[in-house]
Amino acid sequence: MLHTSVVEELAIAEQPAPSQEMSVRTAVAGVTGYAGAELAHLLLNHPRLSGQIPVFLGRMDDSAPQSLHEMHPQLTRNSGRPAPQVVPFRWETLQDAGTQVLFLATPHEQSREWMPEAIARGLRVIDLSGAWRLHDTANAAVYKLEDADPAAAATLQAEAVYGCPELHRDAIRGARLVANPGCYATSIILALAPLVSAGLLDLDRGIIADAKSGVSGAGKAATAKTHFMYAADNLSAYGVFGHRHTGELLEQLQLTRDQIQFTPHLLPIPRGILSTIYARLKFAGSRGAVEKVLREFYADSPMVRVHKAGDLPQIQHVVRTSFCDIGLELGPDGKQLVMVSCLDNLLKGAASQAVQNLNVMCGWNESEGLL
């Protein structure tokens, strides 16, 4: 249950971000999934968190702790030390451990339900679900979320920061609630943001974002369309005109639905995203000039790699890394633009972006624990 006067508690001024000298105790709720496993791996190996094993939390109705190594054998270490335990979710467990930053790798509905309590208890939260990414009610309607306390939820939504460090680094530093972006949205937003910001694109001609993701993007729970017999040797489009990441593109790039069409596809590979983006420049330019805009925009962003114009990224070069690679090609008329953006959907599209946000919130080097 929520504390009494929760709306009042949520309105308390933002807490100061931890300084570089402070140790930070983290916790992860929802460690059973693919992104949760990657997040556990990154936090266990983060140089700033050595000796500060995260609290790993399972479901509230779990009856007993479970071994993290039995749950995710790939995380096993040959250290002779006992495996970290995944314990049932209890607010008291977080309090007793002195938790400062809580990662929620939980379903949207669960994150929406738990967030007011987490903030009221003084936790800073990085949420990997889509529960808090969207501020426009029409865009957020795709998640069909219901709030037990609409006033408390509205208070939190107003202060939620979209967790794309390349765009919102300053706001993330002092945030109590960081909404980690969607994987497709990250790949497309990072490609387009520099050009939209510079006013270079002819938005009246529209943008087409054709994106393809590995099967892990659908989550760990099996469905008919992620079954081997459906996905293998196949390529299929889905979510046409209605994918939940569309709202993120509209809000973060400040576009209308008439200005961009996003269509996702399911690739028969485990992980990785390749987004091919078609647009037109307002005025004829050169490949080098467009590349320069990208490089200047991301000069202080270590997790974005801009390719030399004409050198287009590939999934094989970003899979199991924390980078987003961006490349471009320009047509003979100097206006037709094709951009390719690649990332690992479980890392830069989820877990490593969450750790990147942690680094920013704590005043650490943005790339620590990610290279």
Check pLDDT > 60 for residue 40. Answer: yes
Structure-block tokens of residue 312: 């287009």
**With 0-12 CB in 10 A as exposed, 13-18 as middle and 19+ as buried, what is 2?**
middle
Hey, what domains does the chain have and what are their CATH numbers? 6-181+350-362 (3.40.50.720), 183-345 (3.30.360.10)
Alpha carbon of residue 42 to chain centroid = 14
d(CA 275, CA 344): 12
Res 10 pLDDT > 70: no
At 175 the pLDDT is 98
Mean pLDDT computed over every residue of the chain: 92
Q: Is 96 left (phi over 0), alpha (psi -120 to 50) or beta?
A: alpha
pLDDT category, 59, cuts 50, 70, 90? confident
Model pTM? 0.92
What integer is the mean pLDDT of 185-200? 98
Cβ count near 258 (within 10 Å): 9
Q: Is the pLDDT of residue 371 over 90?
A: yes
The predicted structure's pLDDT at residue 22? 63
Per-residue pLDDT band for 127 (boundaries 50, 70, 90) equals: very high
Check pLDDT > 90 for residue 21: no
Q: Which two tokens stand for residue 49?
A: 């968190």
pLDDT of residue 181: 98
Q: Are 178 and 163 in contact (CB under 8 A)?
A: yes
Residues annotated catalytic, as ranges? 183
Q: What is the pLDDT of residue 20?
A: 54
Q: Tell me the mean pLDDT in the region 58-85.
A: 86
Residue 111 near residue 134, CB atoms below 8 Å: no
